[in-house]
Amino acid sequence: MRVAKASSSTKKAARLAQTGGGRTIRFQGGTVFPLAVAITLIVGLALIAYARQSQPAADATPPQLNDHWHMAYGFYLCDTWYVLEGALEERDSAGNLANRNYLRTTIHSHDDGVIHWHPYTTVATGKRAVLNIFLDNYGVEVSDTALRFPETPGLDNQFQMLTSAGTPTAVASEWIEGETTCNGEPAELSVVKWDYTSDLDSAGQRYIANTGQIHIDHDGMSFAIMFAPRDTPKVKPPTAANLAELGGIDAEGGSQYTDPSDFVDPDSITVETLGGPADTTATDAGTSDGPVASTPDNSADSDATVTTGG
């Protein structure tokens, strides 16, 4: 029985499989993969470096140190406007500024229904500049459903404020939705923000959650902190009408405490010192620490601009 000889092409294929052919395929596969990984890493690192160099600094947003801003504000409780009493600039017997929160932020008022935003430390600048900084300095707490003032000694669970006419008066220390009523009518807590006091006809933006995190964007804003029945018209605080005049008086006189040595070292203060956020960007309700606006309704302010950002 004769066995057929293998063809020359079959022998050639066998020799390639045993020698050079297989080694060539393994050599190509082993070179291309690490080369692709190396290129990917180089490109990725380059993109990271570019992104870090091109993005703005964390505190590049206004306000900045030594800005001199003024904003109208007021507390509208049931049916009356009130403002906070005291400038927070008291000194002790040694001549040093005594209010710790003021030392950290220098944000205050002058019995005039005006927020004086004169930051001399970074605690009240950039993204950290939110409404809570002003409220915290006076011991005022605002949550989604309650407004609390510090109790004034001797006033039996009350807090002394000033009416819009400058008359000292006492108000309840707690205003809580579902508990506190206005002449027997249910009331709710909200903050209305106007970007510019010159927008006299604007209904503003109405916030019902995380209101303390509303960002301070620029000079000339107005804030109405309201605890009133839902259908109460949302109007600007009384000082909005003459904010330019009030701010001008303060700007001409200047602050009597502008010496940087009066204040603590900005580098030694962090946002955590005041319990404030590093980022106040708002998103959907329930998933963000930023302010949340209410939804439109059929009340007197139903034409207000509604947003989810502060």
Q: Are residues 138 and 237 in the same domain?
A: yes
Share of the chain above pLDDT 90, in %: 43
Q: Are residues 276 and 212 in the same domain?
A: yes
Q: SS3 of 75, please?
A: strand
Run of H or E including 49: helix 20-54
The position carrying tokens 């600039």 is: 89
Q: Are residues 150 and 270 in the same domain?
A: yes
Kindly state whether residue 305 falls inside one of the protein's structural domains: no
Q: Are 285 and 292 in contact (CB under 8 A)?
A: yes
Considering the entire predicted model, what is its pTM? 0.68
pLDDT at position 199 is 75
Q: Are residues 149 and 211 in the same domain?
A: yes
Q: Are 308 and 282 in contact (CB under 8 A)?
A: yes
pLDDT at position 282 is 34
Kindly state whether residue 9 falls inside one of the protein's structural domains: no
- Average pLDDT of the chain is 76
pLDDT at position 189 is 98
> Does residue 52 surpass a pLDDT of 90?
no
Task: Read off the pLDDT of each residue in 240-265 and give the average, rounded to a whole number.
Answer: 60
Q: Are residues 141 and 29 in the same domain?
A: no
The first and second tokens of residue 78, run together, are 């049931």
Kindly state whether residue 309 falls inside one of the protein's structural domains: no
Q: How far apart are CA 255 and CA 97, in angstroms?
A: 13
- Picking from 161, 170, 199, 197, the residue whose alpha carbon sits closest to that of residue 303 is 199
With bands split at pLDDT 50, 70 and 90, how would you rate the model's confidence at 247? confident
With bands split at pLDDT 50, 70 and 90, how would you rate the model's confidence at 10? low
pLDDT at position 310 is 37
Kindly state whether residue 299 falls inside one of the protein's structural domains: no
What is the domain range of residue 242?
69-293
With bands split at pLDDT 50, 70 and 90, how would you rate the model's confidence at 47? low
> Does residue 184 surpass a pLDDT of 80?
yes
Kindly state whether residue 59 falls inside one of the protein's structural domains: no
DSSP state of 234: -
DSSP-derived secondary structure for 115-178: EEE--SSGGGSGGG-BHHHHHHHTT-EE-SSEEE-PPPTTSSSEEEEEETTS-EEEEESEEETT
pLDDT at position 128 is 94
Kindly state whether residue 308 falls inside one of the protein's structural domains: no
Which stretch of 35-44, 77-86, 170-179, 201-210 has the lowest confidence by average pLDDT?
35-44
Q: Are residues 39 and 186 in the same domain?
A: no
> Does residue 224 surpass a pLDDT of 60?
yes
Tally of domains in the chain: 2
With bands split at pLDDT 50, 70 and 90, how would you rate the model's confidence at 248? confident
Share of the chain above pLDDT 70, in %: 65
